[in-house]
A and B are shown apart, each in its own frame.
Chain A
Amino acid sequence: MNELSRLQHSHVVTAACQFTEQVPHARALGIQVVSVDRDQVRMRLTPQSWMFAQEDTKEICTSLLYSLADSAGGLAVIAGAMELMPIATLDLRMDYLRPANGDRALLAVATCRHLTDQVAFIDCDIFCEADSELLATAKATFMRNTHGQQFHSNGLKKNSV
């Protein structure tokens, strides 16, 4: 990455992280952005008792891993494309390899595998943060530049992306 694109990327990333943290559902789940590289995003989810799959177990409901993968995947599209345009999930496929223990934080690592003008292909792995055990894998495709208003943060002018 040259100096200019690095600067552009950091602007986009800052704005995208702000945007992600403002998403009401991500806030409600307590999803945190851990890091954003050019095409790789890390996000953390700390389990709470209302996230459990069953009254009598401490296993996290798979749907929380699903939401985490969708959130991390969306930010990976923006990081990979280096532009803040609205996107929409086209499809998402999850494989749940192991049960997720309710007293350990989850870490999602989403990678933007390929971008076309209209579509982004994303892989996402979800780990148990404490022991790096792989809990679930996801594959998603996102539609880029979906209709609607272009969003931008206060610190980012529309022309700069």
Chain B
Amino acid sequence: MSKTDDLAQQRSRAAESREKCADWKALLERIPYAQHLGLQVQCGDAVVLVYLPCNETLIGNFMLPALHGGVVGALIELTARVAAQSKDRDKRCPRIIDSHVNYLRSAKAQSTFASAEIVRQGRRSSLVSVTCWQNDKSKPIASGQVQLLLPTIAAEQEELHDS
């Protein structure tokens, strides 16, 4: 592959990442609870992250101190929701069916990051895997899997009947 091809590919990847980033931001802004928690979107070169700044109201154990398990759960669920909706061609708003979170390390009272990986995006449902970490990405504090249901659109079904 020539250098120009390489460069072109890099540029298109960067453009794709910028687009995804703007998409995630817009989706997150429409979730009142995500706004209340202060969730923000951060864009890396290749990956889009959700960032949760720490504040006192997120503490679950003030002796350690540590984040509340529910805050980590919310970060995982909301990241999964935005990832699934952004991936959907019609940007349908998904409904969370279930979620399963494993807590791997104590979540300190610090900034927390989450990244999502779509395990499978189907026509009706989506399975998203989310990993959370704090200052060291190689030491995740929690990981979770979220199943989401995408509403079926009547018009889309009609289209299928026609074809």
Question: Which residues of A come within 8 Å of B, CB atoms?
Answer: 22-28, 49-55, 61-64, 66-71, 74, 86, 88-96, 99, 148-149, 151
Residues of the A chain whose Cβ atoms lie less than 8 Å from the Cβ of B56: 24
Q: Let me know if B93 is at the binding interface, CB within 8 A.
A: yes
Main secondary structure of the interface of B (DSSP, over half): mixed
CB contact between B30 and one of A54, A69, A148 (< 8 Å): that residue: A54
Question: Could you tell me which residues of chain B, from 73 to 102, have a CB within 8 Å of some CB in chain A?
Answer: 73-74, 77-78, 93, 95-102
How far is B27's CA from A53's CA once the two chains are assembled, in angstroms? 11
CB atoms of A52 and B33 under 8 A apart: yes
Residue B25 lies at the interface, judged by CB distance under 8 Å to chain A: no
Contacts of A74 in B (CB 8 A): 69
Q: Residues of B at under 8 Å CB distance from A?
A: 30-33, 35-36, 56-64, 67-71, 73-74, 77-78, 93, 95-103, 106
Residue on A nearest B29 in the bound complex, by CB:
A55
Complex alpha-carbon distance, A135 and B117, angstroms: 28
Contacts of A151 in B (CB 8 A): 63
List the A side residues contacting B60 at CB < 8 Å: 23-26, 70
Complex: A95 Cα to B97 Cα, angstroms: 6
Smallest distance from the beta carbon of A40 to chain B beta carbons, Å? Answer: 20
